[in-house]
Structure 1
Amino acid sequence: PIECTLATFQIYSEQEKEDIREEIKAKKDFRPALSPGAEMFANRLKKNLKRLKKWAKKNRITSYRIYDADMPEYSAAIDHYEGQWINLQEYMPPKTVDPGQAGKHLDEMIKGLTAVLDIPRRNIHVKTRKQQPGLAQYEKIAHTGERHKIREGGNIFLINLTDYLDTGIFLDQRLIREIFGQLAETKRVLNLFAYTGTATVYAARGGAGATTTVDNSNTYLDWAKENMRLNGFSGQQHSFIKADCLSWLENAELEYDLILLDPPTFSNSKGMKRTLDIQRDHVELIWKTIKLLAPGGTLLFSTNFRKFRMDMEKLPELNVEDISGQTIPPDFERNRKIHYCWKIRRRREHPSLS
């Protein structure tokens, strides 16, 4: 016997095909009505996007913040990556907001995002942001290993939207990375507390003669190596050091023409001999770093501690220029305390420091 399959087909006229296509489109385009709260959030989102999209397109920026706790009852920071993914970091609600309403507000934000951006729910990644002890913000919260590529400043970076509170790149530091890259040509460059090495990539792109990337995490140091390889940078001139930066600075001997120092606000992570408190320790940390700076060199010092105060009286031999205002991009203008940044050089009248 011959094995056979019986198949039946329905033949549609051209008009019937068109009717079916319209019906499918209508179902796809159908969206349930938004609640008043979701509608209010969606309107604020539209207002922000109207302003930001022109700027982003003009500057070829494809990942940026689109909402930053604009309304206290919708307390979250929302970043839009490559027009495809959303990272929604929900803050602990202020005391003026009923805790029982927090879940409702989160749901309204998600519905507003899907309505305005036409992004599927699975591409919206939600995390809760609260004060973290030590380096808890860098620890794993999931184990998917799923990463995506994003573009910035002619570079390609890997991000992970699921496994950590942070994604692998701090978007607010976009202009700091750009300045670092612009200063790097032919320079011997050092990136301390380097995280995933995005600033190192900028330096290499800017023509750095050599780069050294130091971080205390094998995970992030490997990530930094991948970011460099992804952009075509390899070779012995690019070194990566797994070390506690405080201890490493005690014994480092090489000179560098350009250094980026971007420490955490507080750290008591494994492998450190002592805790780091950036307000308490910043003068000591700056001096230890300055000792590695070649004559005529530049140190960029950055911190995201919002209550930070630079102790200028203990740095009289240094030329300390506050460039924070130049490093806050338009998508973070609502909160100009998102970070601070200084350009630091030796004063010429103190040759003993050269």
Structure 2
Amino acid sequence: MFDPSKLQMLENRLVKVYRHISKIARRQQITCFRVYDDDINEFPFSVDRYDDHVYVSEYTRPHGMDEENHELWLDSSLEVIAKVLEVPLGNIWVKQRQRKVSRQEQYEKVSFESHEVVVHEAGLKFKVNLSDYLDTGLFLDHRITRGMVRAASKDMKVLNLFCYTGSFSVYAAAGGASEVVSVDLSKTYLAWAEENMQLNDLKGNFQFVHADVLQYLDTLPADYFDLVVLDPPTFSNSKRMKEFLDIQRDHVSILNKVLHATKPGGVVYFSNNYRKFQLETEQIQASAIKDITGQTMPFDFQQKLIRKCFKITK
């Protein structure tokens, strides 16, 4: 049964966290940030703010409520969120997700409402879709990593593999990259990446390549790119892929192929979301490997970030 008295717990938590986080966000001129992530057992969801909109993602797990009670619980929770964050209920979007969801499922359409808005990050514009997919198109936890790529991209040839909606590509172009190649298996996401680039009036040598990354790596010239972004799924068995991907099993092979295409002294930013991931450093043909997970941890994901991030120098 839904216990309305517990809503006060949620309100108290949100008030405390939002006051703290929104202050930091304002200071850093950030308008897209995480507010809450499964902080209280009775309220298993994450709450993200995207400018004037709020995206609530409910984790599906046993709650012991029938459908009617669950709806009442969710509606009441959303009212609390709307009140504390001072947004109209009509600007709150809700999704349900499994705790362990494959990257492929993450990208599958779950609705066809298509509510899209343009949001701002670090002076750049990005289209987010708050209704159709399990993810919006902009991973907030990589905000700092994107900034690192922007700062390092001046006059660089940049390769963005598994590029998704191209946010890293936009940052690289904004940083003055001489060439940006974005590769993904999804035509939908490549078109979205192009749209993000156009939203920012960025013009240059930008290529959007529709390909299976695992096969594409074998076509790359040696010693060509200065900077590579590699943010693969943990697992992927898309019907369009020739082989299925297991990042723990395959990362050495993938990284060595990427490094082959990277100039000496060039850098690969490699991240993934596998909780138990272990980098097999001895087998990677690099001159330096640095774990930058801590450095890339944004203020709104403290202690909650499960991804790993490495800076690998050829």
Task: Using the TM superposition, name which of 53-62 and 132-141 deviates more.
Answer: 132-141
* 1:41 aligns to 2:10 (yes or no): yes
Equivalent in the alignment of 2:290:
321
- Which of 145, 153, 166 is matched with 1:176 structurally? 145
Distance across 2 between alignment mates of 1:137 and 1:303:
14
Equivalent in the alignment of 1:148:
117
Distance across 1 between alignment mates of 2:64 and 2:10:
17
* 1:227 aligns to 2:196 (yes or no): yes
- Would the aligned equivalents of 1:214 and 1:245 in 2 still touch at CA under 8 Å? yes
The CA deviation at 1:118 is 2.9
2:145 is paired with a residue whose SS is helix
Equivalent in the alignment of 2:173:
204
Equivalent in the alignment of 2:43:
74
- Would the aligned equivalents of 1:157 and 1:227 in 2 still touch at CA under 8 Å? yes
Query: Residue type matched to 1:66 in 2?
Result: V
- Which of 227, 245, 258 is matched with 1:289 structurally? 258
- Structure 1 unaligned segments of length 5 or more: list them: 1-33, 347-354
The CA deviation at 1:99 is 5.2
Task: Using the TM superposition, name which of 303-312 and 113-122 deviates more.
Answer: 113-122
2:294 is paired with a residue whose SS is helix
- Which of 273, 279, 300 is matched with 2:248 structurally? 279
- Would the aligned equivalents of 2:256 and 2:285 in 1 still touch at CA under 8 Å? no
Distance across 2 between alignment mates of 1:65 and 1:89:
11
Query: Residue type matched to 2:169 in 1?
Result: T
Equivalent in the alignment of 1:267:
236
Equivalent in the alignment of 1:252:
220
- Would the aligned equivalents of 1:64 and 1:79 in 2 still touch at CA under 8 Å? yes
The CA deviation at 1:39 is 1.9
- Would the aligned equivalents of 1:191 and 1:199 in 2 still touch at CA under 8 Å? yes
Matches within 5 A, 1:1-354: 35-82=4-51, 84-93=52-61, 98=64, 100=66, 103-130=71-98, 131-133=100-102, 135-235=104-204, 237-253=205-221, 255-315=224-284, 317-337=286-306, 339-346=307-314
Q: Write out per-residue CA displacement over residues 259-315 of structure 1, whole angstroms, 9 at most, x where no aligned residue.
A: 000001111113211000111111111111111101210000011112211112322
- Would the aligned equivalents of 1:37 and 1:108 in 2 still touch at CA under 8 Å? no
- Structure 2 unaligned segments of length 5 or more: list them: none
The CA deviation at 1:133 is 4.6
- Would the aligned equivalents of 2:286 and 2:312 in 1 still touch at CA under 8 Å? no
What is the aligned-residue RMSD (CA, Å)?
Answer: 1.7
Task: Using the TM superposition, name which of 126-135 and 37-46 deviates more.
Answer: 126-135
Task: Using the TM superposition, name which of 213-222 and 310-319 deviates more.
Answer: 310-319
TM-score by length of 1: 0.83
1:135 is paired with a residue whose SS is helix
- Would the aligned equivalents of 2:156 and 2:177 in 1 still touch at CA under 8 Å? yes
- Would the aligned equivalents of 2:115 and 2:131 in 1 still touch at CA under 8 Å? yes
Distance across 2 between alignment mates of 1:133 and 1:205:
31
- Would the aligned equivalents of 2:102 and 2:233 in 1 still touch at CA under 8 Å? no
The CA deviation at 1:143 is 1.7
Q: Write out per-residue CA displacement over residues 42-73 of structure 1, whole angstroms, 9 at most, x where no aligned residue.
A: 11101011111110011000010000111111
Distance across 1 between alignment mates of 2:283 and 2:97:
34
Bigger Rg over Cα:
1
Sequence identity percentage: 41
The CA deviation at 1:163 is 0.8
Task: Using the TM superposition, name which of 242-251 and 128-137 deviates more.
Answer: 128-137
2:295 is paired with a residue whose SS is helix
- Would the aligned equivalents of 1:73 and 1:105 in 2 still touch at CA under 8 Å? no
Aligned residue pairs: how many?
A: 308
Query: Residue type matched to 1:115 in 2?
Result: K
The CA deviation at 1:134 is 5.8
Equivalent in the alignment of 1:352:
none
Q: Write out per-residue CA displacement over residues 203-244 of structure 1, whole angstroms, 9 at most, x where no aligned residue.
A: 111111111111111100000001001101134x11110001
The CA deviation at 1:316 is 6.1
The CA deviation at 1:103 is 4.7
